[in-house]
């Protein structure tokens, strides 16, 4: 059942969560470039690279080369619990490439005019569920971090339960941003946990001490046979 759930088709909600993270990282990068004391790439070179990337994306859209989507966004997809190969599905790749073009246009404008990306990118941020402020640009909390935070605030007996469920959650989802775990996958995970056997290990190891052992030798009750076995072994 676990493999069946994990191999299910990519849901639109999970794709949207990934697109949101692409936007957040891009805008956060623009802010960091503006506020850095020195840049590693001069403006002309930076703008040329943006133009080259934009041309590559336009060509991919024109020729329906959907594999380009995983080239640009495969790592972010993986970090958000998506198989990078899933980005090559036309319905997903089209959204990714379209978004990357919008981000390149925004990068170029911010670089040329030194506009505030939170201001000129306001509509793009809101379209993807992000508030146009600095707080929304912070990296999302990972599942492992959320588990540790919950354990810090919980009583000791509850902490143990949280850690057990946390280990199962990490094995199921991976250490992905909490915001990328959509409601439907949460229900799938909780159902899987609920289906686990209850108390399967509580009596383990007791039965052997509570039962009388059996001699598996078919001649165990015959004294003559026992003597024969003893003499043979000698």
Q: 13-35, pLDDT tens digit by residue?
A: 778 889 999 999 999 999 999 99
Count of structural domains within the chain: 2
Structural domain span for residue 63: 8-137
- pLDDT per position as a tens digit, 124-162: 999 999 999 999 999 888 889 899 989 988 888 888 888
Q: Looking at the structure, tell me whether residues 15 and 131 fall in a common domain.
A: yes
Same domain assignment for residues 40 and 155 = no
31 found inside a domain: yes
Residues 116, 75, single domain; the answer is yes
Q: Has residue 199 been placed in a domain?
A: no
State the pTM of this model: 0.68
Q: Name the average pLDDT for the chain.
A: 82
Q: How far apart are CA 77 and CA 100, in angstroms?
A: 14
The sign one gets for the Cα dihedral 186, 187, 192, 198 is positive
Are 147 and 187 found together in one domain? yes
Residues found in the chain: 234
57 and 129 inside one domain: yes
**Taking a C-beta distance cutoff of 8 angstroms, is the pair 64, 90 a contact?**
yes
The tens digit of pLDDT for each residue in 33-71 reads 999 887 778 889 999 999 999 999 999 999 999 999 999
Assess contact for 93 and 66: CB atoms under 8 A: yes
Q: With CA atoms as reference, report the closest residue to 121 among 139, 140, 104.
A: 104
Instruction: Mark whether 19 and 54 lie in a shared domain.
Output: yes
Question: Looking at the domain assignment, is residue 152 inside a domain?
Answer: yes
First to last CA, the chain: 56
- Residue 82, pLDDT > 50, answer yes
CB 72 within 8 A of CB 100: yes
Asked whether residue 112 is domain-assigned, the answer is yes
State the pLDDT at residue 100. Answer: 97
């Amino acid at each position: 059942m676990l493999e069946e759930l994990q191999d299910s088709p990519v849901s639109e909600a999970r794709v949207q969560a990934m697109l949101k993270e692409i936007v957040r990282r891009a805008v956060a990068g623009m802010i960091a470039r503006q506020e850095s004391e020195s840049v590693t790439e001069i403006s002309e070179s930076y703008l040329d690279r943006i133009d080259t990337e934009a041309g590559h994306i336009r060509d991919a859209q024109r020729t329906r080369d959907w594999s380009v989507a995983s080239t640009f966004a495969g790592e972010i997809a993986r970090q958000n619990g998506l198989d990078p190969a899933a980005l090559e599905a036309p319905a997903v790749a089209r959204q990714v490439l379209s978004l990357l073009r919008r981000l390149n246009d925004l990068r170029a404008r911010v670089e040329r005019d030194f506009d505030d990306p939170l201001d000129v990118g306001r509509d793009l941020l809101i379209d993807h569920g992000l508030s146009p402020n600095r707080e929304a640009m912070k990296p999302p909390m990972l599942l492992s971090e959320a588990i540790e935070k919950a354990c810090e605030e919980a009583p000791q007996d509850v902490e143990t339960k949280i850690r057990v469920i946390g280990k199962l959650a990490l094995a199921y989802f991976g250490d992905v941003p909490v915001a990328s775990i959509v409601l439907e996958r949460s229900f799938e995970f909780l159902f899987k946990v609920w289906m686990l056997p209850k108390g399967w290990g509580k009596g383990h190891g007791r039965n052997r001490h509570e039962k009388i052992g059996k001699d598996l030798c078919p001649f165990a009750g015959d004294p003559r046979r026992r003597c024969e076995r003893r003499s043979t072994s000698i």
